[in-house]
């Protein structure tokens, strides 16, 4: 199993551009999460999903959108990139939500100039 995969690994965007960060898992996990990690800070939850077709906001959802059309994929969309969105983005999945281990992807380093 590949586990949780994320693409791209790195990306530089100009202000106002849009992009989609891809996340996929092959473990048949119901729960998926998107986090961002700013320098010197902890991970902050952007959005999460408890199953295909169900998504909900986390702590810092502004400027982002998600969709969950399949169990495997959970893409994160940035519509109008801003310098404040410069961060490392982590996708994670877990089998059963509460009390379950979260499995993380390798991260995407995004810079908005």
Partner 1 sequence: AQRVTQPEKLLSVFKGAPVELKCNYSYSGSPELFWYVQYSRQRLQLLLRHISRESIKGFTADLNKGETSFHLKKPFAQEEDSAMYYCALEASGTYKYIFGTGTRLKVLA
Nearest approach, Cβ of 107 to partner 1 (angstroms)?
Answer: 8
Q: Which of positions 8-37 make contact with partner 1 (CB under 8 A)?
A: 31, 33, 35
Toward partner 1, which CB reaches closer, 62 or 98?
Answer: 98
- Contact present, 77 and 63 (Cβ < 8 Å): no
- The whole-angstrom separation of Cα 87 and Cα 27 is 26
Toward partner 1, which CB reaches closer, 46 or 110?
Answer: 46
The residue range among 10-18, 44-52, 63-71, 76-84 that interacts with partner 1, by the rule CB under 8 A, is 44-52
- The whole-angstrom separation of Cα 63 and Cα 42 is 19
- The whole-angstrom separation of Cα 110 and Cα 22 is 13
- Establish how many alpha carbons lie within 13 A of residue 51's alpha carbon, considering only the half-sphere containing its beta carbon: 1
Toward partner 1, which CB reaches closer, 19 or 60?
Answer: 60
Q: Provide the binding-site residues for partner 1, judged by CB under 8 A.
A: 31, 33, 35, 40-45, 48, 50, 58-59, 90, 92, 97-99, 101-107
């Amino acid at each position: 199993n590949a586990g949780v995969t994320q693409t791209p690994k790195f990306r530089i965007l100009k202000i106002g551009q849009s992009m989609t960060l891809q996340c996929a898992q092959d473990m048949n996990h119901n729960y998926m999460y998107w986090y961002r990690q700013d320098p010197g800070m902890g991970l902050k939850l952007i959005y999460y999903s408890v199953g295909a077709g169900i998504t909900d906001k986390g702590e810092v959802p502004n400027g982002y959108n998600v969709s969950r059309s399949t169990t495997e994929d959970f893409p994160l969309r940035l519509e109008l990139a801003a310098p404040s969105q410069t961060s490392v983005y982590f996708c994670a999945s877990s089998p059963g939500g509460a009390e379950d281990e979260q499995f993380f992807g390798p991260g995407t380093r995004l810079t908005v100039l």
